A = this chain, B = another copy of it.
Amino acid sequence: MVIINISSTKRTEFIDITSQIERVIREKEIEEGICIIFCPHTTAGLTINENADPSVRSDIIAHIEKLIPYRGHYLHLEGNADSHIKASIFGSSLSLIVKNKRLILGRWQGIYFCEFDGPRERKVYVKVLSG
Footprint of B on A, CB under 8 Å? 1, 32-34, 36, 38-42, 47-50, 53, 55-56, 58-60, 62-64, 67-68, 72, 74-78, 81, 84-85, 87-97, 99, 104-109, 125, 127, 129-131
CB proximity of A15 to chain B, nearest CB, Å:
14
A97 close to B36 (CB less than 8 A): yes
A52 to chain B, nearest CB (A): 9
| A42 with B131, Cβ < 8 A, contacts A49-B84, A60-B88, A84-B59 known | no
Identical subunits present: 3
Which secondary structure dominates chain A's binding surface?
mixed
List of B residues within 8 angstroms of A127 by Cβ? 34, 97
Q: Which of B53, B64, B104 contacts A125 (CB 8 A)?
A: B104
A47 CB to nearest B CB, Å:
5
**Closest CB of chain B to A54's CB: distance in Å?**
9
